[in-house]
Structure 1
Amino acid sequence: MDKVSRSSKIIFAFGGLGKDAMFAMSTIMFFYFVNLIGISAAFIGIMFMVVRIWDAVNDPVMGGIVSNTHTRMGKFRPWILIGSGLNAIILVFVFLNPNLAPDSIRMLVYVTVFYTLWGMTYTLMDIPFWSMIPALSQSQRERENITVLTRFFTSIGFFIISAAYLDLAKFLGGGETTRHQITGLFWLSLIVSVVFFLSELLLVLKVRERVVPKSQEKITIRKMFSLIRKNDQLSVVMIVVLIANFVLYITSNMAIFFITYDIGNQGLFFIFIGLGGVLQVVGALCFPLIRGFLKRKQIFNASIALQIIGFVLLFTNAFVLDNVVALVFALGALVFFGQGLQMVLQTVLLSDTVEYGEYKLGERTEGLAFAVQTFIVKLAMGLSLGVTGIGLDLFGFVAEVDDMPQPQAQATLYAMRVMMFVLPVIGLLLSLYIFNKKHTLDERRYADIVEILKGRGTYDQEAFEL
């Protein structure tokens, strides 16, 4: 009754591959603007943080728009199509170097405008993309299967770009100089934009919503924020995911600097991030197996514990053993595997808050629930980029000169280690406490809520038919 066809699952998941390849391009923008274009790290860090926070604040508004959308194509697919088309075009302009002086007003305005537009257009498709999962099935297991497959594909898309962008930039640009890498990243942005749009177009044409609530009154902006505030389980998941993503992005932002300047071998970056991508995929794929004998809360606690152990031992390796490379990879594996489990969990936990909110508040708002995910991902990225940019500038980071990495002061290297290993541990301990203290929507309670909603006659009959 609630089973989704295999082809729909695969096509939806493939849309995730293109989507996160696009998102990965945003994670290398800091490196592109600072190391290649030569703009101040402090300016880029602060600008990224402000723009991300501004963009994040707009996400609930977009979620409300999605929840109020009623077309022949459904709620979600029109926005996925529009957003992916616009976002693909904007990405090309982000990496189209206008050849202006790095710290000139015109260059700073250009970078700020197109970075802002990139974030806003990405929102147009990202919120409806994730919001479709609760509309595909009400079965927890089916949602978990869809989420695991989608996270598998998103991890592939993300890590193909984030691990290989340096080598791809040199290959596509025809050389290793800064000028060649700038050219190469422009061509990479063009390729990613095409793959991204085509993957979303296939999703729009082939995947349809199946859980269709009966018509409800339009949700105003004021009511929208009230619904988010009153859905206590959504708020709990929101805080936990914010902290988890802050940890993830601090690690990914600092990895290139840590490996290049502290370990002293930039060539290891591709291997390290590639290993991370593989282990995150393995973690995601192991979720259904682990789910067979552990409850969700137990899996969450295990995923956090693995990351904390990994970060503590990485910190010890850095300060006591002076970065034994083999240990960096082995201990990083613990962190990446835990993150893979956690990424699946955060999506399925958010999916469950849709029915919980409908049960408690009388409104079904998938768009709002997953606007929260996009909001917190962007907020976490903005905060992490701000911390990275300000931290590097504050502790005297010296950017490349004539395509050559420069020696860094010992204090700068120590600061990198603290940002890479200590801040994540603090965040993870906090998320562990909040989740175990406040999250109450377990498997049994969710099943009871779904039965109550079916008894109310909330959905059109075709919502439960293949």
Structure 2
Amino acid sequence: MMEKNQVKWPERLAYAMSDFGCNTIFQIVGTYFLVFSTDTMGIKASVVAGLFAVTAIIDSVDGVIWGQFIDRTHTKWGKSRPYWLWFSIPFALFCIMSFSAPNLPGPWKVVWIYVAYIGAKVLYSGINIPVTSILPALTSDPQERVTLSTVRQFFGNFGAAIFLPLTLPAVAFFGQLFGATGKNASTSAIGWFIWAVILGIITVICLLTAFAGTRERVVTKDSTRSVPMRESVRALKGNYPWVIIIFINFIYWGGFAVRSSSLPYYFKYVLHNEGLGSLVLAGTVITLFSTALVPFISRHIGKRNTMLVGMVGTAISQLILYLADKMNGNVPIILVGIVLYFISYGLTGALIAVMLSDAVDFGEWKNGVRAEGFVTSFSSFSAKLGMGLGGMVLSAVLAHGGYIAATAGHTVVQSDAALNAIRIGFIWIPLFGYVASCVALLFNNVDKLEPQMVRDLRAKHAAEIND
């Protein structure tokens, strides 16, 4: 049975292409859409901010809706895989639209970016939620799930690490190739469009590779029928592993969002060293190495304890940053804290999807209902909600501290209260999120229940097939 559920390396790599494909273009949308809209399309930043607010509301519900679609899907390809086939091209087209600048009157430009950006975000959920929901269907072997999730996380981070740094030089290159000169090359509409088309093609190829190269092999009664909403909800009854991981998803990523958003402020106004801030962002490559270690570490100390080590590490890294701050911004100590943070982050991210797969199994084991789409879709909901509220909290903290926004060509000296508000955002709010996540994770004992749970579910699934 273990051999039957073992996923070979070609399929592991095919599964990893799902996240690599998602991040190939969507990281570009998330990072550069604002600057494209303002500097290339000529749309006011306040209008784009309104778009972000509308999208945040849509994001808070679309994940659960996609989860219901997945649970009601019944095809010869399975429940989750078909979404990569059906929506890879529409997703790429909306992302390309997000970096297209048609010659339209002002109001219609606004309509264009609303349609393009909202479409890209909604369809991203439609292809990304299946990346998580398919995991419990790929294998019933707990350690194999860790390996699959790790390989996926590695390639997802790798995709962002490759294409984010290449974007601005590529836009400038294609802009110059088609006649743009000087600084205009980096904001060239044709440059952005060509680069988006290239990334869109890569994204489609990766998602179709994931579709063709994976197989939903854990066949159950619920995987061969449409699971109605009222039954899907039953999978959550008494499902405390699900409650814990959804809470962690909310509080951990909320802290992550506050830390990421406040980082540029901290290095600019507190340390007066923006160059160091850029260097710190480049340090995300460190996560690739620690992510690769997750299967080996979890094999010896378990999934929960591996994740706990990562969360404790992120909390300690925040305390190191506080120590460096008290020493007038000691750069060597800051770098120690940053390196520890990225190492620890790499140990955490890959295991959240695995913990959600455990919650799917637990829901079936306890309640007799296997609802992969519904159970895992709340991961998207809680993470987006946490990051959205995190941004609101940071804005409120900065406003309360009297932060003054800089304007082009002017130097701003922040007050002591504003600098303390920035410190709260960069050090203390994330620390609270990481500590709360550690405490919640201590109550998750699924690793101890897992051997019995796996045996019982395999027997149940074998009986269902024979029937």
TM > 0.5 fold call: yes
**C-alpha displacement of 1:140:** 0.6
Matches within 5 A, 1:330-345: 330-345=336-351
Residues 398 and 56 from structure 1, CA distance in 2 versus in 1: closer, same or farther, beyond 3 angstroms?
A: same
Amino acid at match of 2:345: Q
Tell me, yes or no, if the aligned pair for 1:49 and 1:382 is still in contact at 8 Å: no
Distance 1:256 1:405 in 2: 17
Q: Of 20, 25, 43, which residue of structure 2 is paired with 1:22? A: 25
Distance 1:380 1:367 in 2: 20
Distance 1:436 1:265 in 2: 38
Distance 2:395 2:107 in 1: 19
Distance 1:415 1:292 in 2: 42
Tell me, yes or no, if the aligned pair for 1:42 and 1:390 is still in contact at 8 Å: no
**C-alpha displacement of 1:228:** 3.6
Residues 259 and 77 from structure 1, CA distance in 2 versus in 1: closer, same or farther, beyond 3 angstroms?
A: same
Q: Which residue of 2 aligns with 1:61?
A: 65
Q: Which residue of 1 aligns with 2:80?
A: 76
Q: Which sections of structure 1, spanning at least 5 residues, go unmatched?
A: none
Deviations 1:417-460 (A, max 9, x none): 322222101111222222223x2312x31120121122234566
**C-alpha displacement of 1:255:** 3.4
Q: Percent identity?
A: 24
Distance 2:185 2:397 in 1: 27
**2:134 pairs with 1:126:** no
**C-alpha displacement of 1:200:** 0.4
What TM-score, normalized by structure 1, do the two folds share? 0.85
Tell me, yes or no, if the aligned pair for 1:55 and 1:116 is still in contact at 8 Å: no
Deviations 1:393-427 (A, max 9, x none): 774453552xx685452454443332222210111
Between 1:163-172 and 1:241-250, the stretch displaced more is: 163-172
Q: Of 4, 21, 37, which residue of structure 1 is paired with 2:7? A: 4
**2:254 pairs with 1:246:** yes
Deviations 1:43-93 (A, max 9, x none): 655653552342231212211211221112221222112222112111122
**C-alpha displacement of 1:231:** 2.6
Q: Which residue of 1 aligns with 2:435?
A: 429
Amino acid at match of 1:227: A
Amino acid at match of 1:307: T
Between 1:237-246 and 1:174-183, the stretch displaced more is: 174-183
Distance 1:436 1:45 in 2: 39
Matches within 5 A, 1:105-254: 109-162=111-164, 165=167, 170=172, 173=175, 177=183, 180-181=186-187, 183=189, 185-215=192-222, 218-228=226-236, 230-254=238-262
Please, what is the CA RMSD of the aligned residues?
3.2
Residues 378 and 436 from structure 1, CA distance in 2 versus in 1: closer, same or farther, beyond 3 angstroms?
A: same
Q: Which residue of 1 aligns with 2:295?
A: 288
Equivalent pairs, count: 454
**C-alpha displacement of 1:34:** 8.5
Q: Which residue of 2 aligns with 1:365?
A: 371
**C-alpha displacement of 1:168:** 5.1
**C-alpha displacement of 1:187:** 4.3
Amino acid at match of 1:274: A
Greater Rg by CA: 2
Amino acid at match of 2:450: Y
Specify the SS of the correspondent of 2:301: coil
Distance 1:282 1:130 in 2: 22
**C-alpha displacement of 1:281:** 1.3
Distance 1:135 1:161 in 2: 30
Specify the SS of the correspondent of 1:293: helix
Residues 225 and 441 from structure 1, CA distance in 2 versus in 1: closer, same or farther, beyond 3 angstroms?
A: same
Q: Of 375, 379, 382, which residue of structure 2 is paired with 1:376? A: 382
Matches within 5 A, 1:242-281: 242-260=250-268, 262-276=270-284, 278-281=285-288
Distance 1:269 1:211 in 2: 46
Tell me, yes or no, if the aligned pair for 1:283 and 1:338 is still in contact at 8 Å: yes
Q: Of 437, 441, 455, which residue of structure 1 is paired with 2:446? A: 441
**C-alpha displacement of 1:363:** 1.4
Distance 1:191 1:388 in 2: 36
Q: Which residue of 1 aligns with 2:333?
A: 327
Tell me, yes or no, if the aligned pair for 1:152 and 1:285 is still in contact at 8 Å: yes
